[in-house]
Amino acid sequence: MNREEAAKKIEYLKDELNQYNYEYHVLDNPTVPDHIYDEKLHELIGLEEQFPDLLTEDSPSQRVGGEPLDKFVKVDHEVPMLSLGNAFGEDDLRDFDRRIREQVNNYRYVCELKIDGLAISLTYENGKFVRGATRGDGKTGEDITNNLKTIKSIPLKIKEEETIEVRGEAYMPKRSFLALNEAREQEGLEVFANPRNAAAGSLRQLDPKIAAKRNLSMFVYSVGKWEAGSIGSHSERLEYLNKLGFKTNPETRTFEDIEDVIKYTEEWTLKRSELDYEIDGIVIKVDSIDQQEELGFTAKSPRWAIAYKFPAEEAVTKLHDIELSV
């Protein structure tokens, strides 16, 4: 493709992706499946890498999430809430590992299920829950404290008088999602496209009674702003968050070798349907906080973490059939 053709294609993909982002993040109502969005974003990133002078700051490849809705009070995130770089197969994971190895020694990885919900920040002052917000565009989110207070797995008071901001994923369990859509269908209302959109739609309502009825839950997976924080590894931070009273995911594992990470991603590609919540991949993070700092960030995501995305369901069924037939 020559430069002129690439420029045209880039503009086309940007418009298309901006529209998909708006439908997904602002309206909570996607019109295409995630893998189509991911493929188009991947194509855009590839073209921008090939023609770096065509990369603009407003490109969807440089942006996190969507604009916060005006109906909520806005919350500024002192520590930005970023997105994650994506890996679509073992080669991408080995490339990620090579980039890490070029910069740090003696590292290990924490592997977590990538919960398909919405990223939330929870702030505690002297142990009390004072504010909860959506990620929004990463810099500014929406204050949804009252809705989050209806989620029973979010403690209103934690076990230490800590001032700490924690982050995680609010989600709707599959069972609640099916029951909700069934009830909506009977009432003649529009059904939600998937549990992620149902969770987002429930939390972005002004009336907390709606969220209260929706049976949502939340896994906490990291720390945002924490001035007094002295725990030097992500895995120990997760243990501490659990001790404070947060729900952390029990399937998290640590590995030193990228080949073991790949095995973990393969295992969950086949096992994901057994869970009572949706996951869309595996998040791999360098465990040491010092090494995370050394590796740093790009404009949109940390260099010390990556999200492995599961293949689309049809491809998994094929893989499963092959496994069963050998």
122 is an interface residue for ligand NAD by CB under 6 A = no
Q: Which candidate, 161, 160, 156, 158, places its Cα nearest to that of 145?
A: 156
141 is an interface residue for ligand NAD by CB under 6 A = no
Binding test (CB under 6 A) with ligand NAD, winner from 10, 14, 20, 238 = 20
In the block, tokens 């073209």 appear at: 47
Torsion of CA 38, 44, 46, 52, to 10 degrees: -150
In the block, tokens 């921008």 appear at: 48
165 is an interface residue for ligand NAD by CB under 6 A = no
Torsion of CA 255, 307, 275, 144, to 10 degrees: 120
**Cα atoms in the Cβ-side hemisphere of radius 13 Å centred on 240:** 16
CB atoms within 10 A of CB 11: 12
CB of 234 to ligand NAD, least distance (A): 10
- Run of H or E including 29: none
307 is an interface residue for ligand NAD by CB under 6 A = yes
Range in contact with ligand NAD (rule: CB under 6 A) among 1-9, 48-56, 78-86, 125-133: 78-86
248 is an interface residue for ligand NAD by CB under 6 A = no
283 is an interface residue for ligand NAD by CB under 6 A = yes
115 is an interface residue for ligand NAD by CB under 6 A = yes
Residue 97, SS3? helix
Catalytically active residues are 114
Between residues 65 and 68, which has the closer beta carbon with respect to ligand NAD? 65
Q: Give the pairing type, strands 305-309 and 86-87.
A: parallel
Binding test (CB under 6 A) with ligand NAD, winner from 100, 119, 238, 262 = 119
Residues found near ligand NAD in the complex (CB under 6 A): 20-21, 23-24, 30, 32, 34, 37-38, 64-65, 83-84, 86, 112, 114-115, 119, 135, 169, 221, 280, 283, 307
Binding residues for NAD(+): 34-38, 83-84, 112, 135, 169, 285, 309
